[in-house]
Amino acid sequence: MTFLLKLYNTLTRKLDVFKSKEEGKVKLVTCGPSIYQLPHIGNYRTFMFEDILHRYLEYLGYDVQRLINITDVEDKTLVEAGKQNISPKELTQKNIEIFLNELKQLKIKIPAFIERSSTSVNEAVEIIEILLEQGYAYWYTYKGRKNVYFDPLNFDDFGKLYGLDMSKWPKQRRRYHRDNYSGDRWNKGDFILWRGYKKGDTQFWDTNLGKGYPAWNIQDQAMVKKTFGFDVDIWCSGIDSTHRHHDYIIATVESILEKPFVNYWLHCSHLIFDGEKMSKRKGNIKYPSDLIKTKCIWNHIRFFLIYGHYRRKLNFTYTEYSKSCDLLISFREMVETLRIPETSKRVSSDKAKKLVTKIKTDFENHMNNDLHVKSAFNSLYDTVSKLVDMNEQHLLSAKDSKTALDELKAIDSVFQVIF
């Protein structure tokens, strides 16, 4: 199976022709939410781009095995559960159910593999044990906790995804005991893999490493190991993962494998709201439920989120949202006018046939160019509008009409907004 699908690979910093490790099959990892809170529309933009990739690969004929990672073990979960006076499990389960329902409403495919940090602890422990044995990781006691840390200087290619300048790495050893530090995009030091038990902890597992729980820096690797065994074609996430997170994943896994384990790394750019980054401090975080309350409908939200190139920032304003809704409504109305009764005696024209052929070829040409949905849709709009004009002039046959609609239905297996 050979296609000229080109994807922008963050690792190589260029458009690479996609080729799966196994003929006709793709193993796809898509970073899911930290489920201590509900995903906002910026998160859903990333999930939507991943859905388009998944669906387009299937459109091309690939058998796609997809994993989504859900982070349900972290300090933020404990804090939020405490605020709501419920258990961490109750909090995360409630949010996961809402998340899965919103995926369905947005017509995002539910992946066959959904893993949680809490169900992959044994795999995390196994990875840490190997890293300790090989000398990439080490024990260190901090404030009564016997933790495990990874030393990035032991991995020759550390920071290769981001392009980190390791000449600026601090000469004196530093350890970062938390997963995230506000305002610090790069923790230039040793990062934590395992948090040892401390008296009073309400969340811990009793493992070969002792009591404690895996840090966020090792959780995704564990979930992938459990599902695919470190055999991945594409890994997708939001652009923020290029700071620390994905380089941590590469370093810990490739230290063990001593070879690359993911061939393509794809990252979606931010969605901003009214020109500003969404944040709790600004009070401008928007959730799908907020948009639904303003009479937005799920199908239009999906279209707005996919109508734009995934590597460019997308600015949500209600004015731009309204424009995209009108565009989709106009297109759907045109598609409906293409229907011609099978009993029609109209004769097919060469011009109509060429336009019908353009539907498929233009769509694939734009999508093969790094999933350029906006260009693909615009080309469809232009072609369909011309076909509508021909139909009004009685120059479109029933056969051409059916072929055009069949092609659009195949395309809508990817877009999920036309019919």
User: 366, 327 in Cβ contact below 8 A?
Assistant: no
Answer with the residue of higher pLDDT: 110 or 342.
110
Query: Is 356's pLDDT higher than 70?
Result: yes
Please give the Cα distance from 159 to 48 (Å, whole number).
27
* 295 band by pLDDT with thresholds 50, 70 and 90: confident
Please give the Cα distance from 326 to 105 (Å, whole number).
20
Please give the Cα distance from 232 to 27 (Å, whole number).
5
Helix (H) / strand (E) element for 367: namely helix 350-367
Q: Tokens 């091309």 belong to which residue?
A: 60
Instruction: Quote the pLDDT of residue 185.
Output: 75
* Distances in whole angstroms, Cα of residue 215 to Cα of each of 87, 179, 383: 19, 7, 52
Query: Is 182's pLDDT higher than 70?
Result: no
The DSSP bridge partners found for residue 184 are 181
Helices and strands in the chain, H and E counts:
12, 15
Query: Is 274's pLDDT higher than 90?
Result: yes
Dihedral, CA of residue 391, residue 396, residue 400 and residue 401, to nearest 10:
20
Instruction: Quote the pLDDT of residue 306.
Output: 98
* 258 band by pLDDT with thresholds 50, 70 and 90: very high
Please give the Cα distance from 49 to 55 (Å, whole number).
10
> CATH 3.40.50.620 spans which residues of the chain?
8-268
Q: What is the DSSP string of 307-355?
A: SS-TTS-EEE-HHHHHHHHHHHHHHHHHHHTT---TT--PPP-HHHHHH
Instruction: Quote the pLDDT of residue 1.
Output: 45
Kind of pairing between the strands at 262-268 and 314-316: unpaired
Answer with the residue of higher pLDDT: 349 or 357.
357
Q: Tokens 């530093």 belong to which residue?
A: 174
Please give the Cα distance from 152 to 157 (Å, whole number).
9
pLDDT digit string, tens, across residues 113-131: 999 999 999 999 999 999 9
Please state whether the predicted TM-score (pTM) of the whole model is above 0.85: yes
Query: Is 267's pLDDT higher than 90?
Result: yes
Please give the Cα distance from 152 to 254 (Å, whole number).
12
Q: What is the DSSP string of 104-131?
A: HHTTPPPPSEEEEGGG-HHHHHHHHHHH
State the Cα angle at 371 between 352 and 19, rounded to 5°. 110
On average, the pLDDT of the chain sits at: 94
Please give the Cα distance from 295 to 250 (Å, whole number).
43
Query: Is 159's pLDDT higher than 90?
Result: yes
Q: Among 158-167, 276-285, 341-350, name the most confident range.
A: 158-167
Instruction: Quote the pLDDT of residue 183.
Output: 64
- Choose the weakest-confidence range: 36-40, 163-167, 185-189, 231-235: 185-189
Please give the Cα distance from 243 to 265 (Å, whole number).
13
Instruction: Quote the pLDDT of residue 332.
Output: 98
Rounded to the nearest 5°, which phi and psi values hold at 261?
-120, -10
Mean pLDDT within 348-362: 94
Instruction: Quote the pLDDT of residue 49.
Output: 97
Residues 275-294 as b or e (16 or more Cβ within 10 Å = b): eeebeeeeeebbbbeebeee
Please give the Cα distance from 416 to 398 (Å, whole number).
25
Rounded to the nearest 5°, which phi and psi values hold at 160?
-70, -30
pLDDT digit string, tens, across residues 63-101: 999 999 999 998 888 889 989 999 989 999 999 999 999
Q: What percent of the chain has pLDDT above 90?
A: 87
Neighbours of 409 (CB within 10 A): 12
CATH code of 8-268, in short, is 3.40.50.620
Query: Is 282's pLDDT higher than 90?
Result: no
Mean pLDDT within 274-291: 88
Instruction: Quote the pLDDT of residue 74.
Output: 87
Mean pLDDT within 303-312: 97
Instruction: Quote the pLDDT of residue 75.
Output: 83
* 283 band by pLDDT with thresholds 50, 70 and 90: confident
Rounded to the nearest 5°, which phi and psi values hold at 348?
-70, 145
pLDDT digit string, tens, across residues 308-333: 999 999 999 999 999 999 999 999 99
Instruction: Quote the pLDDT of residue 343.
Output: 85
Tokens, residue 416: 């999920």
